[in-house]
Amino acid sequence: MSDNIQTLIAEGKIDTKKVAFIKVSIIAFIYACMWACILSDTFFIWLNKDLHLSETKIGTVMGCQALVAVLYKPLMGYMLDKFQVRITFISTIAIAGIFTGPFFTYIYQPLVMNPKTFYIGALSGGVLLGYMFVAGSAGMYSYLDKYVRAHGGKFSLPNAFIVAGLAVAGVAVPYMYLMNHLMSFYAISVFSAILLVALLTLKVKAFDNLETETSSRKKLDMSDMLNLLKRPHFYILALFAGLVVVIYYVQAVQIGLYALQIWVDTPNPTSAETQQAIQEMANVNAWVSPSQILVFAVILYSSRIIQAVTPKKSIVILGLIIALYMGGCGLAGELHSKVLIIGDKILFSVITPLIAVSVLAYVADSFNKKVTGVAFLIGFQFVNNLAYSGSSTLISHLFDVKGYMVGYYELAGVVLVGTLIIAILLSIFKTTTYKEELLGDYLVSN
C-alpha cells in the first residue's frame, strides 16, 4: 500500500484495510441475499407452478433478461472504469431493488400470466432483473474487486461472503415461498434498502486522484479499446463466456424443476404433492447447509489456488468441472437419485462463485488496468448475455423435447469440446501477462 494511501488513512479520509474489508464483506453478503431470492429453485417453480409457464416460456423469460442486459453491459463497463471505486453508478442497483416487491406483485405477475401480454411482462421483468442481477452481478463483482484491490487485498474475501449470503438466503427462501409465494420479492426490497445504506458508508472520494492497483489517473480513450480488441486473450475470454459458461447459466434456470421432478417422481403431481416435495427439499437443503462452510473455505483461498495454477489454466480446469457437473446431473436423472442431485446442487454452489473469481483473475492478469472493467463486462458478461439471449429458449426447448437426463448429457459434451478448444488456444497464445507484453514491446523498440 502506497505512502499516499497510508497518509489518507491516518487523516481518516480512507478506511483502513481491515475496516474496508469488513464493509465490503457486508455489502457482498447483502447483495448475495438479494440475488439468492432470484437464483433459488422456488423462483422457477413459482414461474412454472404458480404462473403456469412451460420450460420453453421460462427460457424465454430468462432470455429477455439476458437480452436487456446486453444493452446495459457496455455502458456499465464504461461507467465502472470512469467512476472507479466511487459508488455513483453502482448504488443505482440498490435503488432499483427497492421497487422489486411491488413490481412483481402488481405488474409482472398479471402480465406474464396473460398470453396476450406475456412478452411485455417478460421484457419488463428483463429490464429490472437484467439490470439488478444479470448485468448487475457483473457490475457488483467488478466494483467490489476494484474496491478490495485498491486497499491491497484480493477478491476471494468478499466472494467468500457472497457464497455465505447465497447459502444463508438459499436456506431461507424456500420457507418464505411456503409461507407466501411473493415474500422473497419483498425481501429483495428490504435487502436493497440495507445495501444502499451500506454503500453510503464507503469512504471512496479520496481515491479520485490516486494511482492504485486497479485505477489509473489516465483516462480511458478509444485507443485503449482498440488495443483491447487486438489481444487474442480477449477472444479466448469471449469464447469461454459464450460457449462454456453460457450453458452452465442457462441450465441453472431448470435445475430446480429437474430436482423437483426427481423428488416427486410422478408425471403429473398434484398441488399438495408439489408443496410437500418443496417442503422436503427445503428441509434437506437446510440439513446439508453446513457443507457451505467447506465451500466458504474453498472460495476464501481460491485466489491462492488460482495463482498457483495460473489464471489462464484455471478457466480450463473450471470448464472441466462444469462438464463433470453436467454429466452428474444427467446421471442423477438416469438413476432417479435424490442423493446425487443434492451433490450436484452443492457442486453448483461451488462453481458459481468460482466463475467470477477465475474470470476476474484472468482479466487482471491479461489486460491493462485501465480497461479491466470493460474487458470483464464486454469480453465476458456482454458476450455471455448475448449468447444467453440466443440460446436460452433453444436449450430450454431441448429439455422440453428430449427430457432433462438426455439434455444434460448432450450439454456436458458441448461444454467438454468447448473447454478443449480453449485449452488449445491458450497453448498457442502463450504470453502470460499484460506486463510481460509491455516489457517485450519495450525491448523491441529499444
> Are 90 and 155 contacting, i.e. CB atoms less than 8 angstroms apart?
no
Q: Which residues are CB-neighbours of 315 under 8 A, at least 6 positions away?
A: 240, 358, 359, 362, 422
User: CA 298 to CA 279: how far, in whole Å?
Assistant: 29
> Are 157 and 148 contacting, i.e. CB atoms less than 8 angstroms apart?
yes
Structural domain harbouring 244: 3-445
pLDDT in tens, 276-286: 888 887 777 76
pLDDT for residue 439: 36
pLDDT for residue 252: 82
pLDDT for residue 11: 57
> Are 189 and 100 contacting, i.e. CB atoms less than 8 angstroms apart?
yes
This prediction's pTM: 0.72
Nearest alpha-carbon partner for 210 in 61, 5, 368, 20: 5
CATH number, domain with residue 112: 1.20.1250.20
pLDDT for residue 409: 95
CA 397 to each of CA 7, 64, 131, 156, 211: distance values in angstroms, whole numbers, following the listed order? 59, 15, 25, 36, 50
| Total domain count, the chain | 1
| Residues in the chain where the model's pLDDT stays below 70 | 1-13, 73-74, 77-88, 153-157, 204-225, 286, 288-303, 369-370, 373, 431-446
CA 370 to each of CA 211, 213, 220, 224, 227: distance values in angstroms, whole numbers, following the listed order? 11, 10, 6, 8, 11
User: CA 359 to CA 138: how far, in whole Å?
Assistant: 11
pLDDT for residue 222: 65
For 359-420, the DSSP string reads: HHHHHHHHS-GGGHHHIIIIIIIIHHHHHHHHHHHHHHHHHHHH-HHHHHHHHHHHHHHHHH
pLDDT in tens, 202-231: 876 545 555 554 454 455 566 666 777 788
